[in-house]
Structure 1
Amino acid sequence: MELRPYQKEATAAVFHEWQEGRGKTLLIQATGTGKTVVFSNIVQQFLNNQKGRALILAHRDELLQQASDKLQAVTGIVPQFEKAQFTAVDSDADVVIGSVQTLTQDRRLNAYPVNAFDLIVVDEAHHCLSESYQKVLGYFNGAHVLGVTATPDRADKKDMLSYFDSVAYEYSMLQGVRDGYLSPLKALMIPLNIDISSVKVSCGDYVASDLGNALEPYLEQIAEEMTKYCMKRKTVVFMPLVAISQSFCELLNTKGFRAVEVNGQSEDRKERLQAFEDGKYNVIVNSMLLVEGWDCPSVDCLVNLRPTKSRALYTQIVGRILRLSPETGKKDALILDFLWMTQKLSLCRPSCIVAKDEAHAKKIDEMVENAALLDDESVDILDAEEQAEKDIIQERKESLAKELQAQRRKKAKLVDPLQFVFSINENLDDYEPEAKWEFEKPSPKQLALLEKFNINPDDIDTRGKATRLIDVLMRRAHEGLSTAKQIRLLERYGFSEVGTWTMKEAGEMITRIADNCWMVPFDIVPSQYSPNRQ
């Protein structure tokens, strides 16, 4: 199987981390972008290089079977299972696929020597901090570890880095859509006011039982809205409880849908899933069963009736509809986004899939809502994100201009770092710390060096951001480009693009202005001046 470019990059990045001594590394790869393919390829390369043995660890039967199927398809390696009645203790298989629930049993775990495995792959690695995973990982503590997960939010990433040494590679859902490896993502706001303001929050998310009670009065209206948009699509519906999932499925069938419900107790679960995939049904309803380990590329519509505050969970849910399926005529993936009424903050909506921060998310949400109010049209989330980025950059520039205007009379000794990075067309806003040290406060040496470059370090809050800014300053000094102080001075006289000038060019212009009693020579128009054109 020929790997995609980003899959090759991910593979190389993981081995680089191991070679650099970071034995526990994390691969963050969006749902639908083939992370199982990547770690199967990594397992094969590792075994070829090390001549060792590998354990693939997961917590659900669907994930275990998926790993087995993909490993054989990609590499030809036939693994053995360590789960329930199956054991690989006496097997000479190079790869064991193990259930974490099985291996946490002392009898099953102790049957293996502590050095049984040279590599452990943790699928859905956001679960790895749990006591069960840590017991298994701690037992085989001499092995290299690769954690694989879909894109988490910043808090999840920080938590996982309490165990993992580094993030080897990250490929986001947004990048997958941009590169054409995931379906174009659209959102349509359904202005149905569903009041969940009274729903309790426990462990950081909404209580499922309360959500079920809050949803029940709206099910008839939701089903009616779905008849407008879902009849010609293949739709997955997520519900908070099995009972309400079953009753909603029955309701959809009365509306003309061919709906099927599936849950953990369904004896014919595999048959129902296959029938949906084959087209016998056009809606599948579930109570969070299909969040992980379920792939049906032809599904192209999501109705999420399990509102959540967890970006990681919401990302997993949306990921179910993003796989490509050109052979079935799939053109895009549509999220029907209901107007949840809640006083609680951080409710995840389609914007959180692509937004880098709350400001971007707010802009995207406004676009989706305005489109619904005007013409009931869906909004391409990627287009909305790009427009939000442009709007926010413009607003920040305007805000900065006002701030600089207000402070024009102040003769600050140091240059504001935000003003500097805007002037040189660099951007620190998209920087996200990944390694542990990057989250630390800037060191005294870094602060002193920033001041030496005439940069005010007060707003540089992390060691990683300080490192990135110092790298930019050092590079510019090495290349002989204009300094922060030169840029600020000449911009005050109305010159533009001074960040692209050399230090010598900027110095010569400052000398001319100083020699002219600190006035711009009359034959120079600052806004039109470019040293390259003189």
Structure 2
Amino acid sequence: MDKKALSERDICSKCISPAIVAAGWDLHTQLREEVSLTHGRIIVRGKKARRDEDTIARADYVLFFKPGLPLAVVEAKDNNHTMDAGMQQALRYAEMLDVPFAFSSNGDGFIWHDRTAQDGIVERILSLGEFPAPALLWQRYLAWKGITPEAVPVYTQDYYPGKDARYYQLNAVNRAVEAVTKGQSRILLVMATGTGKTFTAFQIIWRLWKARAAKRILFLADRNILVDQTKTNDFKPFAGAMTKIENRTVEKSYEIYLSLYQAVTGTDEAQNIYRQFSPDFFDLIVIDECHRGSAAEDSAWREILDYFSSAIHLGLTATPKETEEVSNITYFGEPVYTYSLRQGIDDGFLAPYKVIRVDLDKDLGWRPPVGTVDKLGQVVEDRIYNQSDMNRTLVLTQRDEAVAARITEFLRATDRMAKTIVFCEDIDHAARMRQALINANPDLASANPKYVMQITGDNAEGKLELDNFINPRKPYPVIATTSRLMTTGVDAKTCKLVVLDRTIKSMTEFKQIIGRGTRIDEEHDKLWFTILDFKQATALFADPAFDGDPVVVWDPAPDEPVLPPDEAPGDPLGGADGTGGSNGTPGGSVDGPGEPTGPGRTRYVLDHVPVRIAHEQVQYLGPDGKLITESLRDFTRIQLNKRYASLDGFLQAWNAAERKEAILAELEKQGVLFEELAEMAGKELDPFDLICHIAFDQPPLTRRERAERVKKRNVFGQYGDTARRVLQALLDKYADAGITNIEHIEVLKLAPLNEFGSPVEIITAFGGKANYQAALQDLERALYQ
């Protein structure tokens, strides 16, 4: 067998796979080939998005002890490479999968990188017959992880079969179960919104429950919709063993309990129905969205956790960093695993975003004339009002109209049926914004009254439409105005526009709001989303804490009282089901109409103050996770200049290419979007002219102008009558549809070219295929002369 002549796939099938199987690895349960670990980052430019296939991480082999417990990665290369050529790639994938073993092979043998290094040798050369057996790697893996023989039955408990877990979900589940086997009683998992925290929690609970390491489990959340979604979706396999605590009644015959924390606590001792359970009743308590106050010593969640102190406490959050007053890490300890927003976007599991920051003139500072009286007859305080005052101490109704007009303008330019969430200061503001948006969209609002809906805690009809809003198959409602109801726990996969018109100072709240748009739904063409920011909230992107490593920011002194600002009395919407706020008070006021003004402060309402857009800025998420402020034109110029240092360099490459399509495809991979650029130019420009004009400041010609110039030069005189007429028709096709369309032989089947005969007959008129291709080259040279 001449290995040098074999492809990489042949090397795998003829050399590597047989060697692994011969070592005792089961072909069906332990060996998986061509495993895609990531989906590929989504690149957004203009209105278009595409996946960057070069960023897809795909391992040639992943070896498992059993499904869900990976042990090793093997990277293959063809035999023209050295044996260690795939090692760096294998090490990267091994790190992603949290495994200590990486192998590289070219079919002659293996290079084995062993992070356990029990004999002091990290890397060694193996023959094909020396590949290690599963039992050897498993024992080294257990020692590396520090898992004792007594803990193995729990750690190796099967996953629930069916939906495949992504690599980071496997890591999170395995790390959490590992922590339990090591006796850790407080466990924190940090996973960005949209990465499947509930599915991850289900698999953790399933494995611990099946292994009887946790016989009774309590799953706590602070939104009714969260609990209901969990029960009917991810937790459905628990079936008859599961119940939801509601109506303040307790049934102790179940093993899996789901509950709002507001449903089991209250200011009155009689409302604290969790005390009907014995303190040791639960073995495991899972706190979903645990950033919402469980770390605060006087929060309702801490009251429950302290009562069930003997249970394992597992916290799930997308936002490990809290305020200066509260840190989850102080309670739970360092996260056992973190998967960040940036990682999710880089891997292609989360949608990237574009930011449009809009500054309104009155937000930049406005002082009313002395003696101004508002619509309620109040004399407006004489001072300068700025952005933080708007819709809190000062309401300018024409400001609502300006915001609604900009939202409508954006939707008209993109998709008027795109799901949109508008975050407002409070319920009163959400109601006004609903009306402003209806008036800005009279045609669609008249066609269907649910085009714009107010979905807030006090609006029963609006809350009933929440399920329809988040259902991709339901077209209405399209636009939802809200305050805090939809900041968390709303799985709006098709949301394409997030509008920020509320003051956001908390990083926690900001990340939760942004999370409403980060989910991907390729079936419904949701690959990215836009943030329309009227409050400069996206300035928080500049904060290194936005997506950095979690750190402890709260170091309380003994007996220090704590009341986190974002958890002030009155939990948003009273848990969304009217059961009371986080401190047990019914309803709460955070999502109420008067909250922003505060005690002793006055709100002024003015109808006749004009408001206009003063400044607007568009930003894109760059590869490094930072926002880039540049136009599509500027971005394109930069990319083109990286590839072509001069106009002559580009012209040489363009004229030398047998098919222009190859050059265009390569540039599009780098983010150059010709369709968007042509739309921006407002002319039917050839990609050639777009490049020359944008990168090298050359005056452009339209495709039709180029075609007419060629016709006037009579450059086809040497061809016969039929061939000449074919070339004239190809010129017309170029003018209509562009260069890539005439480079394919299939164009000869289309009218009017098919009038000259079949493709074979047309090519014969040129004297054969080679002569036809040469004539096409002459045509292209004439076009771009």
1:223 to 396, 400, 404: 404
Tell me which residue corresponds to 1:241: 426
In structure 2, distance between residues paired with 1:226 and 1:70: 33
Deviation at 1:14, TM superposition (A): 1.3
1:247-258 alignment, distance < 5 Å: 247-256=432-441, 258=451
Tell me which residue corresponds to 1:84: 247
In structure 2, distance between residues paired with 1:323 and 1:81: 27
Deviation at 1:208, TM superposition (A): 9.0
2:185 to 23, 27, 44: 23
Deviation at 1:25, TM superposition (A): 1.1
TM-score by length of 1: 0.61
Tell me which residue corresponds to 2:504: 308
- State the one-letter code of the partner of 1:146: L
Higher helix share: 1
Does residue 274 in structure 1 map to residue 467 in structure 2?
yes
Deviation at 1:300, TM superposition (A): 0.8
Give the conservation status (yes or no) of the 8 Å contact 1:25–1:147.
Answer: yes
Tell me which residue corresponds to 2:358: 190
Does residue 332 in structure 1 map to residue 525 in structure 2?
no
Tell me which residue corresponds to 2:689: none
2:455 to 262, 266, 273: 262
1:51/1:237 Cα in 2 relative to 1: closer, same or farther (>3 Å)?
closer
In structure 2, distance between residues paired with 1:121 and 1:58: 9
Secondary structure at the aligned position of 1:229 is classed as helix
- State the one-letter code of the partner of 1:227: T
Give the conservation status (yes or no) of the 8 Å contact 1:54–1:119.
Answer: yes
Give the conservation status (yes or no) of the 8 Å contact 1:23–1:165.
Answer: no
**1:98-142: CA deviation from partner (whole Å, max 9, x where unpaired):** 221232254412211111000000111112124211111111110
**1:66-95: CA deviation from partner (whole Å, max 9, x where unpaired):** 22223434655752122324433x3x2210
Gaps of 5+ in 1: 199-205, 341-345, 358-371, 389-534
Tell me which residue corresponds to 1:103: 264
1:45 to 207, 214, 230: 207
Tell me which residue corresponds to 1:286: 482
Deviation at 1:280, TM superposition (A): 2.1
RMSD over aligned CA atoms reads 3.1
Query: Relative contact order, CA 8 A, sep 6+: which one is greater?
Result: 1
In structure 1, distance between residues paired with 2:168 and 2:198: 14
- State the one-letter code of the partner of 1:246: A
Deviation at 1:188, TM superposition (A): 1.7
1:114-513 alignment, distance < 5 Å: 114-126=279-291, 127-128=293-294, 129=296, 130-153=298-321, 155=323, 159-193=327-361, 195=363, 211=392, 213=394, 216-231=397-412, 232=415, 233-256=418-441, 258-276=451-469, 277=471, 278-338=474-534, 340=536, 348-352=539-543, 378-383=618-623, 385=625
- State the one-letter code of the partner of 1:176: G
Secondary structure at the aligned position of 1:153 is classed as coil
Which of structure 1's runs of 4+ aligned residues deviate more than 6 A?
Answer: 206-209
Deviation at 1:52, TM superposition (A): 1.2
In structure 2, distance between residues paired with 1:86 and 1:124: 24
Of 305-314 and 222-231, the range deviating more from structure 2:
222-231
1:93 to 211, 230, 254: 254
Deviation at 1:30, TM superposition (A): 0.9
Secondary structure at the aligned position of 1:11 is classed as helix
Give the conservation status (yes or no) of the 8 Å contact 2:285–2:313.
Answer: yes
Give the conservation status (yes or no) of the 8 Å contact 2:246–2:263.
Answer: yes
Gaps of 5+ in 2: 1-162, 367-386, 445-450, 549-612, 629-785
Q: Tell me the percent identity.
A: 25
Give the conservation status (yes or no) of the 8 Å contact 1:311–1:348.
Answer: no
Deviation at 1:377, TM superposition (A): 7.6
Of 348-357 and 74-83, the range deviating more from structure 2:
348-357
1:219/1:212 Cα in 2 relative to 1: closer, same or farther (>3 Å)?
farther
- State the one-letter code of the partner of 1:289: L
Give the conservation status (yes or no) of the 8 Å contact 1:235–1:283.
Answer: yes
Give the conservation status (yes or no) of the 8 Å contact 1:186–1:381.
Answer: yes
- State the one-letter code of the partner of 1:166: E
Larger Rg: 2
Deviation at 1:317, TM superposition (A): 0.3
1:122/1:208 Cα in 2 relative to 1: closer, same or farther (>3 Å)?
farther
Secondary structure at the aligned position of 1:80 is classed as strand
Deviation at 1:262, TM superposition (A): 1.1
Give the conservation status (yes or no) of the 8 Å contact 1:354–1:382.
Answer: no
In structure 2, distance between residues paired with 1:251 and 1:43: 46
In structure 2, distance between residues paired with 1:265 and 1:161: 34
Tell me which residue corresponds to 2:217: 54
1:131/1:339 Cα in 2 relative to 1: closer, same or farther (>3 Å)?
closer
Secondary structure at the aligned position of 1:181 is classed as coil
Of 149-158 and 311-320, the range deviating more from structure 2:
149-158
TM-score by length of 2: 0.43
Secondary structure at the aligned position of 1:221 is classed as helix
In structure 1, distance between residues paired with 2:435 and 2:495: 20
Secondary structure at the aligned position of 2:335 is classed as strand
